[in-house]
Structure 1
Amino acid sequence: MKMANKVVVLGSINVDTTYHVERFPQPGETISAKSKSSAPGGKGANQAVAAVRSGAQTSFVGAVGSDNEGSYMLEALKENNIDVHHIMVDKYHGTGTAAITLDANGQNDIMIYGGANQAMTTDVLAGIEDVLDGADFLISQFETPQEVTLAAFKLAKEHGVTTILNPAPAHDIIPELLSYTDVIAPNESECALLTGIEVADEESMLKSAEYFQKRGVKHLLITLGSRGVFYATPEGHGLVPAFKVKAVDTTAAGDTFIGALSSQLKDDLSNVADALVYAQRASSLTVQQMGAMPSIPTADKVKAALAEK
């Protein structure tokens, strides 16, 4: 019987500060926040925590500053049993931070200072062959430089590792990166921005899949919020419905989805539909709690929720 999935995450590490407001301010307007809270976050860190809490053996590749926030984040990842040996300490740039405005409906606006995340170079990849050896998946996002992701994905392919690209926040992709990407997982707006095809119906989503397949990406997952997740693979396509819940804070919903998915997928992606159901359920639990990393559920909680009818 196969042991737990081995997942490597290359990505961002941020300290999130959330300002709780009734509504978002208008341009030029000053409003009062009801409260303020801080928590560990960053798309990469959130995805790694989601993977490990769902049972994956997880390693992280990234960078923090030589500051209090960096020490705080390293401890937070260690406490979640994530291998942090390949997180560099940058003496010249601060740890990434995010300022989040959260309204009464659970919607958010996020401003990010990249810091050590954006200053990352391929030097961070020194020695990562030891974690890629035997790994099942390598995940990356767009809060760190694409040049680093491309170099990491090339190494991953040399080691037979399946690569998952979460192109968020979306912007132009280095064309060569797609040729080393096995799975791409944008949301609908990110997908439209990358392909120029508005995500409106099944036909447009299949056209999006064709766009990526022509560029070397065989598997497309489009998260559609309350509508669920559309998937297209060489074996077929379909829509996995979302679980209907009342959202309190959507900050780490997409990150939970990606990390939880990586913990459940088989190497050949033959169980993609079942893995998507699990990932959707994990994400639905995350949005019902406050904070990014603190809200990410464990496998036991996800399985218990799945058992409910």
Structure 2
Amino acid sequence: MTNRVTVLGSLNVDTTLRLARMPQPGETLLTENKTSAAGGKGANQAVAAARSGAQTRFIGKVGNDEAGRFMVESLTDDQVDTSAIITDETVGTGSAFILLDEAGQNSILVYGGANQQVQAAEVAAVEDEIAQADFLITQFETPQAATLKAFTLAKQHGVTTILNPAPAATIDPAILKVTDLVVPNETESASLTGIPVTDVASMDANAKRFLEMGVKSLIITVGSKGAYYATPAGSGFVPAFKVKAVDTTAAGDTFIGALSSQLKPDLSNIETALTYAQRASSLTVQGLGAMPSIPTYAQVQAASQA
């Protein structure tokens, strides 16, 4: 059965600047290369879900500019339903500037633009689209008031909610109470729970703290090591695939989108879905750019059999 995934999130045009190393404060460096591509955490997650076979919809905002038209076109090219993307006349489309060094590590500067203008009332207007989903995913590149409205509506319709609390932020506690699955990396998890992630025992402690805050299920992504999961049925750790990373941009977004395409709404196949998501993410980091490097279902299957 094909999963139906709706993403409420950000749409950014990413400009990547390649450097030998990161600049020091006050230092000027020459870049080795400059490229632009469609991106934004929300858009990346939606494309990852769609390329892995999910029927995907997007809720978000762009400016009335060339960048906005480019973002909508990019999602449409990947068969993402863009009918719930609104054009804002007051601000420009979101953008991100990515500094990428030779080791494949990145630093990212984000201009929120239209992403920051998504209103709770606009989310309420697409309740029917939310109701038809199996999963609703969001991140923190759009306002938390919109997230709370979307998740509240999703729960009323029995839709499984997935929160990617990135970038790390102070979170409205009400959001966690309507979150089924929270997917932070180790830094984001520690910032939300106050418990540093160092080993499995500390991950178990993070899961317990999230449960106290209202979230029954947790996945912590731990970069090249793998991913920890905890659900009411049990917990475990799924190791990552060892590859040479060229560009880690969108690795986490690919993971979440790919996961949502394979996961059952009751999370009963979480280990299988996690393994698939890890494989998809391992392919993303081997390519340059965010969206261009996100693999298809066929590419993930081929890599699994290689």
Q: Does 1:200 align with 2:198?
A: yes
Amino acid at match of 1:265: L
**Partner of residue 7, structure 2:** 9
SS at match of 1:97: strand
1-side partners of 2:222 and 2:276: how far apart? 16
1-side partners of 2:137 and 2:90: how far apart? 26
Amino acid at match of 2:197: V
2-side partners of 1:164 and 1:56: how far apart? 15
1:131 Cα deviation from its structure 2 partner: 1.6
Q: Is the 8 A contact 1:61 1:124 kept in 2?
A: no
**Partner of residue 165, structure 2:** 167
Q: 2:82 aligns with which of 70, 81, 84?
A: 84
1:124 Cα deviation from its structure 2 partner: 2.5
TM-aligned CA distance change 1:216 to 1:126, over 3 Å: closer
Q: Does 1:134 align with 2:129?
A: no
**Partner of residue 123, structure 2:** 125
% identical equivalent positions: 62
Q: 1:237 aligns with which of 224, 235, 238?
A: 235
SS at match of 1:164: strand
1-side partners of 2:64 and 2:87: how far apart? 6
1-side partners of 2:121 and 2:43: how far apart? 19
SS at match of 1:117: helix
**Partner of residue 116, structure 1:** 114
Q: 1:43 aligns with which of 31, 41, 44?
A: 41
Q: Is the 8 A contact 1:249 1:288 kept in 2?
A: yes
| 1:1-309 equivalent positions in 2, closer than 5 A | 3-308=1-306
The alignment's C-alpha RMSD in Å is: 0.7
SS at match of 2:57: strand
Moved more, 28-37 or 124-133: 124-133
For structure 1, the residue ranges without an aligned partner over 5 or more in a row are none
Q: Is the 8 A contact 1:226 1:244 kept in 2?
A: yes
2-side partners of 1:277 and 1:131: how far apart? 29
1:126 Cα deviation from its structure 2 partner: 4.2
Deviations, residues 6-51 of structure 1 (Å, cap 9, x unaligned) = 0000000000000011000000000000110000000000000000
Amino acid at match of 2:222: L
SS at match of 1:38: strand
2-side partners of 1:264 and 1:254: how far apart? 16
Amino acid at match of 1:22: A
SS at match of 1:27: coil
TM-score of the pair, normalised by structure 1 = 0.98
Following superposition, which runs of at least 4 residues in structure 1 exceed 4 angstroms of deviation? none
1-side partners of 2:234 and 2:283: how far apart? 28
Amino acid at match of 2:216: K
2-side partners of 1:76 and 1:288: how far apart? 21
